[in-house]
Amino acid sequence: MNQDDDYPIDEKSSADTGFHGDALVALKQYFGYDSFREGQEDLVNAILAGHDVLGVMPTGAGKSICYQVPATMLPGLTIVISPLISLMRDQVDALNDAGIKAAFINTTQESDEQSMVFAQARQGDVKMLYVAPERLETERFRNFASQVKISLITVDEAHCVSQWGQDFRSSYLGIGEFIDSLPVRPTVAAFTATATEKVRRDIVRLLRLKAPKITVTGFDRPNLYFDIINMPTKRKNIWITEYAAKHSDESGIVYCATRKETEALADELNQHGIGAAAYHGGMSAEARDKAQRDFVTDQVPVVVATNAFGMGIDKSNVRYVIHHNMPESIEAYYQEAGRAGRDGEVGRCTLLWNESDIVTRRRLLDMDSDNDRMSPEDQEVVRQSHRRLLNAIIGYCRTTECLHRYIMRYFADPSSMDTVANAENASSKKPESDINSDSNTAADDGATAGSLPNQDAQADGKVFKCGNCANCESTFETIDVSDVARAVSRCVHDLNQSFGMGKIVSVLRGSKAQDLINRHLDRVPSYGALHDVPDARIRDVINQMATDGYLFVSEGRLPIVHFGLRAGETVKPDFHYEIKRIQRRKPVVATSGSAFGSYDADDSHGGTGSRPDSTAYGDYEVTEEDETLFQKFRELRRTIAQEIGKPPYIVFSDKTLRDMARIKPVTDAQFLAVNGVGENKLHLYGPRFMDVVRAQ
């Protein structure tokens, strides 16, 4: 990922700082991890050296470690500013379990309880204190803050300070002033998963970061399997229900666009015997808390939610995230989908979409409620930028490119995904060369994919394939639609570039609709020219022509189809145009197979789950015995979680239990060698887990 030229770049290597060894010791001691992940070490060392930092890392990459490790090593208190008070208890529980003294102050506490926490923090008995940004405005907190030694202030979900993002919170705007009001300015560390440059600039400016070291890590999440499926709306719930039923021992999140949809789908899942909770902003705080807790503690396997759910959710064993509709941007999608597989094990991210999602999204965008902090001009600029975000996710739904690669390209340079830019590059488009004919393919339900130019080819002429997304596992049947495209172009001309897609399709199909006859549209030359071509095919061609720059579909509530920059090409005698129809492989048994959380391919949309972090396992083959042991560990984890009233993942993650099943520890030293076991957890839970191994 490119650094922003305007920001100072962290050039200090870990060797310069001298903290490396100590930080690694703390990482192992408290968290049981042997090494830092990408970006973590630089950030930890910069914080320890007293530099402000901004860490931009995708969800699940491990941002928390970046400030939790320094917090254990710095002399004073670390204050963590986090937007969601409902999560603080879990975060603090997890830290205490790891042996780090942590506490929170929030509105769920009585005044007495708060006084106790303040007193403990004053005595140095609290190393990390979690608060919501609103807390900083209270006099009581300000008094407290002026009396204790604060070494570090961490701002989690720092993008909430920016109005350009979708999670803007005005209370974040007070953080900079709070920091400046402290008698001694502590180091300030901000973290976000939102990578856009504008938001980053806002974070630096509005939080008043001082010459921050900025670390932007690679955004890829190789353990996530991405899939996009074009599907009629009425089939979506059935598909999701079948999927959840097949994966009944896994946790999953389904994101819907509306509150109504979340409730309807949760009901449907429950009727089919699949435990599901709805979650949306219209529910009472109590009902939302219950839904969240039931999900986090594995009482219900599925939560069906609007985008109100999830920011900061640290449930590490979410195995799948399904989007019932197309989200508003790649950022939103990646953040939501990224909640799968935080433990590094396989996670599956499926986006279900169809054309009507695009219409709905466009409509929502135009109805965007006014933000009275902004002038009408600024509001329009924001709307424009939201349109651009939307276009990029539409491109994602239609691309035939590797899906990991599409997302990475987007984060590297969002503007490269603009339709016009694509259209301009398109002349250098190479024909798809590696459409391998695979006898083991099955055409799916008619999904078609548009093509973005030049995207698959690498410098060496080979096509990039990650092997862990549906596009890389699919083959694409190429269909010649030159005649359809020519007819569309003619029709747009006949209709004077003044109608939307629906009318164009009706005219080309020779519809007898009264409305059409009244407007004399049955008299234009292209009327009925495609009477034998299905509606859906014509729509696919129009959409792809818009993506490729032959057409231009205006924004707004009633999008009109105009000619695009390349429209002239369609009348040339050698004009040739193709669309690709996705063919998917039949189910492929995942290499990780039953051994890895029963991750198996869906019947109609196969996929192999790669095993991430494989170095942790080497070439280790999971045996049946290990699987049995893993299940026993899970049971014990559930029992312990119930006893201590905490979510199971706080005891140990799935990944840790897998490693434990491999190592089969019976001594303390062996138990400590398990990935994710620190000293405190050895002490708390080691004997009981080792008893399970001995009883085998």
Nearer to ligand ADP, 98 or 529 (CB): 98
Give the torsion through C-alpha atoms of 638, 641, 646, 650, to 10 deg. Answer: -80
Give the torsion through C-alpha atoms of 324, 329, 335, 339, to 10 deg. Answer: 10
Distant-in-sequence, close-in-space partners of 32: CB < 8 Å, separation ≥ 6: 656, 672, 674, 675, 676, 677, 678, 681
Provide the H-helix boundaries in 184-247. 197-206, 233-246
Nearer to ligand ADP, 314 or 477 (CB): 314
d(CA 249, CA 317): 11
Question: Any idea which residue has 């034998």 for tokens?
Answer: 532
d(CA 661, CA 627): 7
At position 306, the amino acid (one-letter code) is T
Question: Coil, strand or helix: which one is 475?
Answer: strand
**Minimal distance, residue 481 CB to ligand ADP, in Å:** 43
**Minimal distance, residue 293 CB to ligand ADP, in Å:** 18
**Minimal distance, residue 33 CB to ligand ADP, in Å:** 4
Q: Are 303 and 270 in contact (CB under 8 A)?
A: no
**Minimal distance, residue 548 CB to ligand ADP, in Å:** 36
**Minimal distance, residue 604 CB to ligand ADP, in Å:** 31
d(CA 289, CA 287): 5
Nearer to ligand ADP, 107 or 615 (CB): 615
**Minimal distance, residue 60 CB to ligand ADP, in Å:** 5
d(CA 6, CA 23): 29
What are residue 128's DSSP bridge partners?
78, 102
What is the largest distance, in Å, between two alpha-carbon atoms of the chain? 86
Kindly list the residues in this chain that would bind ligand ADP in the complex (CB under 6 A).
33, 36-37, 40, 57, 59-65, 314, 316, 342-343, 653
**Minimal distance, residue 232 CB to ligand ADP, in Å:** 34
The b-or-e profile of 563-588 (16+ CB within 10 A means b, else e) is: bbbbbebbeeeeeebbbbbbbbbebe
**Minimal distance, residue 237 CB to ligand ADP, in Å:** 29
Length of the chain: 696
d(CA 284, CA 299): 20
Q: Are 170 and 205 in contact (CB under 8 A)?
A: no
**Minimal distance, residue 338 CB to ligand ADP, in Å:** 7
**Minimal distance, residue 508 CB to ligand ADP, in Å:** 48
**Minimal distance, residue 61 CB to ligand ADP, in Å:** 4
**Minimal distance, residue 223 CB to ligand ADP, in Å:** 11
Question: Coil, strand or helix: which one is 373?
Answer: coil
Minimal CB distance to ligand ADP: which residue?
Answer: 62
Q: How many CB atoms lie within 10 A of CB 91?
A: 22
Nearer to ligand ADP, 342 or 605 (CB): 342
Q: How many CB atoms lie within 10 A of CB 471?
A: 24
Burial of 380 (0-12, 13-18, 19+ CB in 10 A): exposed
Q: Residue 465 is encoded by which pair of tokens?
A: 């394939």
**Minimal distance, residue 4 CB to ligand ADP, in Å:** 20
Q: Are 56 and 79 in contact (CB under 8 A)?
A: no
**Minimal distance, residue 613 CB to ligand ADP, in Å:** 8
Nearer to ligand ADP, 69 or 269 (CB): 69
Q: Are 273 and 342 in contact (CB under 8 A)?
A: no
Q: How far apart are the first and last CA of the chain?
A: 47
Question: Rounded to whole angstroms, what are the CA distances from 462 to 310, 357, 430, 522, 584?
Answer: 38, 34, 11, 48, 21
Nearer to ligand ADP, 45 or 241 (CB): 45
Nearer to ligand ADP, 20 or 37 (CB): 37
**Minimal distance, residue 221 CB to ligand ADP, in Å:** 10
d(CA 533, CA 556): 28
Distant-in-sequence, close-in-space partners of 685: CB < 8 Å, separation ≥ 6: 640, 651, 652
Q: Residue 262 is encoded by which pair of tokens?
A: 């979340």
